[in-house]
Amino acid sequence: MGKGCLRRGLSFWLVLLFSVFIVQASGKAQAANSANIVLPEGWTVQDGFDKSLSRSAGSGGNWIARYLRSPSGDPVFLQILPLEEAGPLFIPPVSDLRTDGLLGMGATYTVVDEGSFRAVLEIHPYLGTTATAPLPGGNTLVLESKTLKPESLLELCLFLAGSENGGTENAASLP
């Protein structure tokens, strides 16, 4: 075998290898925007992923995750967990501010109840803030941020999870 044949063979395999990486990268970029999440003005979607939570293709829901940026630049991690795999979200009755107790790390919890909107807000001194709410179709919305103010995270949660005029149509159409 000559050097020319070896070079052509090596070139072929290198082109094939890079083609596979390009196709995989473009597939991930499409998946990051496949949920068509509509956000409030000034918010942007950075990247994300969809992951099937079922062992048999097509029979279960997808875990949808997106990295968002607020108008002020604060990062927010959005997750949508499917009802079929995660089960319905349990929100306890409204109560005073609660803590994670003596064995915890200082987190506080509260239930937000405003009309038809209900959510659990957790504020952790080391990990940040989490807002969790049910979506109209039964899926669960989870928003997490280390830097965004809890009030702003709840506003985004209300927009996506549903108010009479908020993101109800958008959230209901998410897979």
Which residue has better confidence, 141 or 104?
141
Taken as a whole, the chain contains a residue count of 175
- Residue 93 phi/psi, 5° resolution? -60, 155
Per-residue pLDDT band for 2 (boundaries 50, 70, 90) equals low
Which residues fall within 8 angstroms of residue 153, CB to CB, at 6 or more apart?
76, 121, 129, 130, 131, 143, 145
Whether residue 168 is predicted with pLDDT greater than 80 in this model: the reply is no
8: tokens are 């052509």
Span 43-87, pLDDT tens digits: 999 999 998 887 655 666 889 999 999 999 999 999 999 998 889
With 0.95 as the threshold, say if the pTM is over it.
Answer: no
pLDDT for residue 124 is more than 70 = yes
pLDDT band with cut points at 50, 70 and 90 for residue 35: low
